[in-house]
Structure 1
Amino acid sequence: MILLSMIGVLVSTKGMRLVIHQSGVPSEVVFLEEFEAGEPQGHEVRVRMLYAPINPADLNFIEGTYGKAPNFPAVPGVEGCGRVESVGEAVESLEVGDLVIPLSAWGSWTTTMVLAENQFAKLPKDFDEVQAAMLRVNPTTAWRLLHEYRLLEQGDWVVQNAGNSGVGRAVIQIAKSQGFRTISFVRRQELIAELKALGGDAVFLDDAEGVRLALELVGEEKVRLALNAVGGDSALRLMEVVSVSGAVVTYGAMSRRSLKVPNKYLIFKDLEIRGCWLSRWMDHASSAEIAEVMQPLVAMVMKGDLLQPVERVFEVGEYREALARAQESGRAGKVLLKF
């Protein structure tokens, strides 16, 4: 089917999307299918998607190990960006050509999205499209980690593992802009200089010697917040570094090992153990709350103070190669799909 947009441009209502009909190995259960996107009605807008990254959450969603089970058939993709292609007759906040990111939890691995206008966040039209596609998950998570669990002041220390992850890099850059100091643990020696160049104050290997160096560095100063993306023994090393009455916030479980908290950290350090799941917050946050987080992040990206590295951009037809690369270690950045 073909329809006319509000500016008279011919627009097809058919699209292509990546779909799963069952959980399993990503390369075996993801398929590219045609679908009828339909025409926007009322407060709906039709968005032509441009880019979408492949995040660990996407892979977990496909495998069936994510916090929310898919309703089949399901379209993966927790973030991305696109431009408004046509609008319903009651739309007020968006117009054709606007650059937007979807706020809905899933469904960005598609050429076309038709949703209510309040399900998209508008970005400056000249905002970098690739960076826009990666704005919703990692930078937003990093911002919330740094602002929701402890009221940090300039000069305060924050310790994290997985410092080279997408969230970890965002934490380093955002913390630097806010005047917070970071200690980041990593698994590979070659990452130390790289993360220091990014703005990290201290970067150590994630082992017992790294803990010793971190404690030596901070001395009597307080480390009020620890950010855990790994779990297992790595999380215990964070608990060793964080100060009495500090918060340990878990937002990932890369090691797939349980978080077992020794009694001493609860009794003698009175640590607060918290969890952070962006999807839950996005489901309940108001438009104003989301904007309050997005606005400073957009400003940072526009100034060049917050950038996420890209390993490679794959055309959507190369999705199997993209999925394979996204699951490999040693990447220099995100793998993205281009629609």
Structure 2
Amino acid sequence: MEALSVKFYEFGNPCDVLQVESKQLRQARKGEILVRMITRPINPSDLLPIRGAYSHRISLPGVPGYEGVGVVTEVGPSVPQHLLGKRVLPLRGEGTWQEFVRTSADLAVPVPGFMEDETAAQLYINPLTAWLICTEVLALKPDDTLLVNACGSTIGRIFAQLSKVLGFKLIAVTRNNAYTEELLELGAQYIVDTSETSLHGAVMELTHGRGVHAAIDSIGGADGTGLAWCVQPHGNLVTIGLLSGVSINWAEITRRAQVHVRMFHLRHWNERVSVSTWQATFHQLITLIQHNQIKLRPPAARYSISDVQEAVRTAESHLSNQGKIFLI
């Protein structure tokens, strides 16, 4: 049996190097399942490897895609037959930008009946990252104050919702007032629009000169550096992205600002976590979705997997506050 797959044989601009081709499917082996994909979002983290950001640990040809949802169509030896026909998140296996994905049955996350496909497909990268940073990395307590830049983004909205769930105070940093009302409704306590006010001055005023307990940087460059100076001495800053493309000498910032800086990579957590904890963590997120404590945005647009170049062009020129682009 043949199925469509998106591949790249060299690193470069995704629109230039991505190819759609047919491949021969092999049967699921012991402990594996075969999943017919329904839909998957296009994330910035899907495009970075194509451009060569992690070329030292990516073998070519590669299949992009970290997230998605599908239906189990085949189980390998030792895998329970009752999984057949069930919806799952086929994570940490093959890239999801193909019609069928093989993955470990133990790591596949069951999707409950109440959850829509396009919500389930987004449950991994952003919600899991935000949850782990708040509960494990920073271990935020009620009344702690967290400062987050690029807060109009998908993950910024999740931090806002988690502030309400976990009880910490969120100061959301934006570059305009387009997201103010929504972020306040989601749970942010304060909004700092840097197009109108100084970040440091606003944060010091809001915290009575003490600074925040912790901060999360998705931008890097001058924005990330400015964030560090808003953290109280010996507080924590977690860097999760580099939207500006400008790196920071975090060792120097750590020395000068007297803050603890760490980078968060979801794959490092994946490497050390047990299967039971992996599944239990997703169960926690699914429960928050079920109780409407976390809401994920619907897709902005959907494209066939055979139109992947057009989908990627749209995703790269797209405003994140309008929802993600999906491949169906």
**TM norm structure 1:** 0.89
Q: Does 1:63 align with 2:51?
A: yes
Match of 2:23 among 30, 35, 41: 35
Runs of 4+ aligned residues of structure 1 deviating over 4 Å after TM superposition are 261-265
Match of 2:305 among 313, 316, 331: 316
Map of 1:106-117 to 2, 5 A cutoff? 107-117=95-105
Q: Which residue of 2 aligns with 1:334?
A: 324
| Correspondence list, 1:39-188, <5 A | 39-66=27-54, 69-92=57-80, 95-104=83-92, 107-188=95-176
Contact in 1 for aligned 2:254/2:261 (Cα 8 Å): no
Q: Indicate yes or no: 2:281 matched with 1:281.
A: no
CA contact (8 A) 2:133 2:139 kept: no
Counterpart of 1:258 (choices 241, 247, 251) is 247
1:222 shift after superposition: 5.9
User: Structure 1 unaligned runs (5+)?
Assistant: 1-12
Change (3 A) 1:260 1:94: farther
Displacement of 1:282 in angstroms is 1.4
Provide the aligned C-alpha RMSD in A: 2.1
Correspondence 1:19 to 2:7 = yes
How far apart, CA to CA, are the structure 2 residues paired with 1:214 and 1:48?
48
Q: In structure 2, what is the Cα distance between the partners aligned to 1:153 and 1:165?
A: 24
Cα distance in 2, alignment partners of residues 154 and 214 from structure 1: 19
Aligned counterpart for 2:213 among listed residues 208, 224, 230: 224
CA deviation after TM superposition for structure 1 residue 272, in Å: 0.5
The aligned length equals 325
| Aligned-partner SS, 2:198 | helix
Q: Amino acid of the residue matched to residue 333 of structure 1?
A: G
Deviations 1:249-296 (CA, angstroms, capped at 9, x unpaired) = 1111111112135967635x5310111011222133211222232122
Q: Which moved more, 1:59-68 or 1:21-30?
A: 59-68
CA distance in 2, matches of 1:87, 1:105: 14
CA distance in 2, matches of 1:91, 1:32: 31
Q: Once the 2 structures are TM-superposed, how far is the Cα of residue 150 of structure 1 from its aligned partner?
A: 2.6
Q: Distance in 2 between matches of 1:199 and 1:228?
A: 19
Q: Are residues 119 and 263 of structure 1, via their aligned partners in 2, closer, same or farther at CA, if it must alter by over 3 Å?
A: closer
Q: Tell me the alpha carbon deviations over residues 75-100 of structure 1, each in whole angstroms, 9 at most, x when there is no partner.
A: 00011111111212310386112221
CA contact (8 A) 1:61 1:69 kept: no
Tell me how far apart the structure 2 counterparts of residues 262 and 209 of structure 1 sit (CA, whole Å).
25
Task: Show CA shifts across 1:88-143 (max 9, x none).
Answer: 23103861122211221650111101233123122213322101111110001101
- Are 1:198 and 2:186 counterparts? yes
Matched residue of 1:195: which SS? helix
What percent identity do the matched residue pairs reach?
Answer: 26
8 Å contact 1:44–1:115 — kept in the other structure?
yes
Q: Which whole-Å CA distance do the structure 2 matches of 1:59 and 1:70 have between them? A: 13
TM-score (norm 2): 0.92
Relative distance call for 1:257 and 1:187 in structure 2 (3 A) is same
Contact 2:211 2:230 in 1 (8 A): no
C-alpha deviation, 1:38, in angstroms? 1.8
Displacement of 1:320: 1.6
CA displacement 1:36-86 (0-9 Å, x = unmatched): 122223322111111111111111111112375431111000111111112
> Which residue does 1:3 correspond to in 2?
none
**5+ residue gaps in structure 2?**
none
> C-alpha distance in 1, partners of 2:273/2:151?
27
1:316/1:217 CA distance change after superposition, 3 Å: same
Q: Per-residue deviation at 1:299?
A: 0.8
Worse overlay, 112-121 or 205-214: 205-214
My pick for the range that moved more, 238-247 or 35-44, is: 35-44
- The one-letter code of the counterpart of 2:326 is L
Using the TM superposition, give the Cα deviation of residue 231 of structure 1 relative to its aligned residue in structure 2, in angstroms: 0.7
1:245 pairs with one of 226, 230, 234: 234
1:117 alignment partner AA: A
